[in-house]
Amino acid sequence: TVAHVQAVEAARALNAYVLETPERAIEMAKASDARRASGQAGALEGAPLGIKDLFCTEGVRSTACSKILGDFTPTYESTVTANLWRDGAVMLGKLNMDEFAMGSSNETSAFGPVVNPWRTQGGNAQLTPGGSSGGSASAVAAELCLGATATDTGGSIRQPAAFTGTVGIKPTYGRCSRWGVVAFASSLDQAGPIARTVEDAAILLKSMAGHDPKDSTSLPVETPDFPAFCGKSVKGLRVGIPKEYRVEGMPAEIEALWQQGIAWLKDAGCEIVEVSLPHTKYALPAYYIVAPAEASSNLARYDGMRYGLRVEGGNLTETYEKTRAEGFGAEVKRRILIGTYVLSAGYYDAYYLKAQKVRRRIADDFDQAFEKVDALLTPTAPSAAFALGEKSDDPVAMYLNDIFTVTVNLAGLPGMSIPAGLDANGLPLGLQLIGKALDEGTLFSLGSAIE
Ligand code: GLN
């Protein structure tokens, strides 16, 4: 813990942490030592972790990296983080992220962008660690924590993991409790870990997961022993290659990476099968209707009355308006505008209802594919990490980066990103494994075969 606390201080230029909690970390580590000495060590005893600022932590400022939450300090602990502390983990601090988890580059944060510890060979440009869990990914990659919590609504665990050479898994919807996690799009949001190895991710997820009566969408199922799946033989498993993911304009090196992944899995004894997910091309537009719709509703609570920032106006309505005008950043406002538009009476059928139907089709596509295969293999993102500022003025270009990740959230399935090599510039690239609902175990086995 002490070494990590020092590393965090030394690497402030990465802007991965928005709040450091060194005193608390040392206190937790001491309690951990005491439990260890008395032979009561938990599964994560003494493991120093970073916590994405979307998780409410009792007595510790939690802002979702939005100005509107000010220095909101919850009086309660999210279930996921409570589970980690129960098993002995230590909190190093709160990690930077895109505001309310909306973004793919960590540039929408009220605390400024996070820097990727990776650089192109011989280059000096600062790169994005991806988003929205950019702080989590950057901190894990730079060894500023042993592992981190993250959340994934449309790729926010997997894409940053791919951009930083780390492992990230978004579990099945309902595997981890959403209680105490600031809501973005409730039917898509899931918590999961970012870690240095597949096994670390398995150990962390085992601790984070579990049924929680405080979240009505939490699944009443036992948590499997995920670490036991790591290193397990994958011989005879059938892995599908969805042909629709071979999108136009995909760089040759991403295609080459994909072929490499296929070769590795073949060597490990898997059977490779081409499958079709015909509605894939509608996933991105459907996601960018459903997610903003739910966000506009979830974010209605930030009115200057309950939490954080309040900018006084002449009357109540004016106070609402001024608070929201000042408190929300541009991307969040864009999502609220889109969301309220697609939910409005005149457009509901044309956009929101249509998007929900597309979502059903996408889930059906996966169901059909999973009659033939045990898991799917795809690239995680259509590119390696890009430069900070490169896409920040072009929301559509930014949204296109989520092309391979949003489908999984729409269908509620587990997805994992594994570091799979470097591109020509020496930047990490990730491969994505997609599993059947509640079958994260197979992903851990396949992930350790690729790792
Ligand atoms: N990049 C996507 C978005 O901006 C996904 C974000 C996420 O998974 N939280 O909505």
Burial (CB count within 10 angstroms: exposed 0-12, middle 13-18, buried 19+), residue 418: buried
Question: Are 237 and 290 in a shared domain?
Answer: no
Asked about 156 being catalytic, the answer comes back as: yes
The pTM of this model reads: 0.98
pLDDT at 346: 94
Out of 62, 156, 392, 445, which one is annotated catalytic?
Answer: 156
Question: Are 397 and 334 in a shared domain?
Answer: no
pLDDT at 122 over 90: no
Average pLDDT, the chain: 97
Per-residue pLDDT, averaged over 278-291, amounts to 97
DSSP at 428: E
Q: Nearest to residue 80, comparing CAs of 167, 150, 184?
A: 150
In three-state form (DSSP H/G/I as H, E/B as E, the rest C), the secondary structure along 34-97 is HHHHCCCCCCCCCCEEEEECCECECCECCCCCCHHHCCCCCCCCCHHHHHHHHCCCEEEEEECC
- Cβ atoms < 10 Å from Cβ of 267: 9
Question: Are 306 and 431 in a shared domain?
Answer: no
Question: Are 322 and 431 in a shared domain?
Answer: no
- CB distance 103 to ligand 1 below 6 Å: yes
- Which of 104, 107, 181, when mutated, tests ligand 1's pocket best, judged by the most ligand atoms within 8 Å of its CB? 104
DSSP at 127: B
Question: Are 380 and 323 in a shared domain?
Answer: no
Question: Are 124 and 229 in a shared domain?
Answer: yes
- CB distance 401 to ligand 1 below 6 Å: no
pLDDT at 123: 85
Kindly report, residue by residue over 288-325, the tens digit of the pLDDT. Answer: 999 999 999 999 999 999 999 999 999 999 999 999 99
**Domain of 450: which CATH number?**
3.90.1300.10
- CB distance 407 to ligand 1 below 6 Å: no
- Domain final residue pick, 299, 325, 349: 349
Reported ipTM: 0.98
Question: Are 318 and 441 in a shared domain?
Answer: no
- CB distance 105 to ligand 1 below 6 Å: no
Asked about 344 being catalytic, the answer comes back as: no
Burial (CB count within 10 angstroms: exposed 0-12, middle 13-18, buried 19+), residue 313: middle
Tokens of 65: 């990296």
- Domain final residue pick, 300, 317, 349: 349
- CB distance 102 to ligand 1 below 6 Å: yes
What's the domain count of the chain? 2
Question: Are 250 and 373 in a shared domain?
Answer: yes
- Placement of tokens 């439990």 in the chain: 35
Question: Are 303 and 417 in a shared domain?
Answer: no
Kindly report, residue by residue over 208-234, the tens digit of the pLDDT. Answer: 999 999 999 999 999 999 999 999 999
Cα of 155 vs centre of ligand 1, distance in Å, is 6
Nearest atom within ligand 1 for CA of residue 398: 1
Kindly report, residue by residue over 176-188, the tens digit of the pLDDT. Answer: 999 999 999 999 9
pLDDT band of residue 401 (cuts 50, 70, 90) is: very high
- Domain final residue pick, 295, 322, 349: 349
**Contact indicator for 138, 104 with CB cutoff of 8 Å:** no
**Using CA atoms, how far apart are residues 215 and 25, in angstroms rounded to an integer?**
28
Question: Are 299 and 196 in a shared domain?
Answer: no
Question: Are 198 and 259 in a shared domain?
Answer: yes
Domain span including residue 50: 1-276+358-451
**Contact indicator for 242, 362 with CB cutoff of 8 Å:** no
Kindly report, residue by residue over 257-268, the tens digit of the pLDDT. Answer: 999 999 999 999
**Contact indicator for 161, 380 with CB cutoff of 8 Å:** yes
What count of Cα atoms within 13 Å lies in the side-chain half-sphere of residue 66? 30
**Using CA atoms, how far apart are residues 258 and 432, in angstroms rounded to an integer?**
9
Asked about 357 being catalytic, the answer comes back as: no
pLDDT at 124: 86
Could you tell me how far CA 355 lies from the centroid of its own chain?
Answer: 22
The string of DSSP letters for 365-422 reads HHHHHHHH-SEEEEESSSSS--BTTSSTT-HHHHHHTTTTTHHHHHHT--EEEEEEEE
pLDDT band of residue 91 (cuts 50, 70, 90) is: very high
Question: Are 329 and 385 in a shared domain?
Answer: no
| Residues in contact with 50: Cβ distance below 8 Å, sequence separation at least 6, in sequence order | 16, 17, 91, 92, 93, 94, 95, 135, 136, 139, 140, 144, 145, 147, 148, 149
Out of 132, 177, 218, 445, which one is annotated catalytic?
Answer: 132
